[in-house]
Amino acid sequence: MFPESEQSESRTMDPLERIKEQVESNPIIIYMKGTPQFPQCGFSSRAAAALQDCGEKFAYVNVLADPEIFENLPKFADWPTFPQVYIDGELIGGCDITLEMHASGDLQKMVKEAAKKWPAEESSEG
C-alpha cells in the first residue's frame, strides 16, 4: 500500500526504507558519526579521509543527527558498527576494511567507477 502523498516527508518513511533509498540513490555513501568536515569519532574520520583522498564526491549521513538511522543501520546490512561505507549499493565495510582497500588501491578504483554514476550536474559557469 502506498502513502496518499508521494511527496511525504522522508522522516515519515520506515527507517530501513529510508536507508535503502539512500544507499540505492547514492553511488558512494558513508554513514558516519559527524560529517567529513567535522567527524565525531576517529574511525569515521579515517574512513571519510580515505574516501576524500579518492578525489570523487560522495554522500554522507551523520548518524548522530538521525537517531532512527543510528538505531536501524546495524540491522540493514547486519553490520554492528559505524562508519559504514556503501559503493554501488553494496556494503564495503567499516573503517579497517576501507583503509585496507585504500592502501591497496582497490578503493580508488571502486570509487572512480561508482562516481561515473552520479547524475550529471548543470554547469553554472558564466
Q: Domain boundaries in the chain?
A: 15-114
pTM of the predicted model, to two decimals?
A: 0.85
Amino acid, single-letter form, for residue 90: E
**Tell me, what's the pLDDT at 11?**
54
Mean of the per-residue pLDDT values for the chain? 88
Radius of gyration of the chain (CA): 15
Reply yes or no on whether the pLDDT at 21 is more than 50.
Answer: yes
The residue whose grid cell reads 570523487 is 56
CA dihedral 37, 41, 45, 48 (to 10 degrees): -80
What is the average pLDDT across 31-48?
A: 98
Tell me the CATH number for domain 15-114: 3.40.30.10
Q: Is 43 helix (H, G, I), strand (E, B) or coil?
A: helix
- 69 touches 31 (CB < 8 A): yes
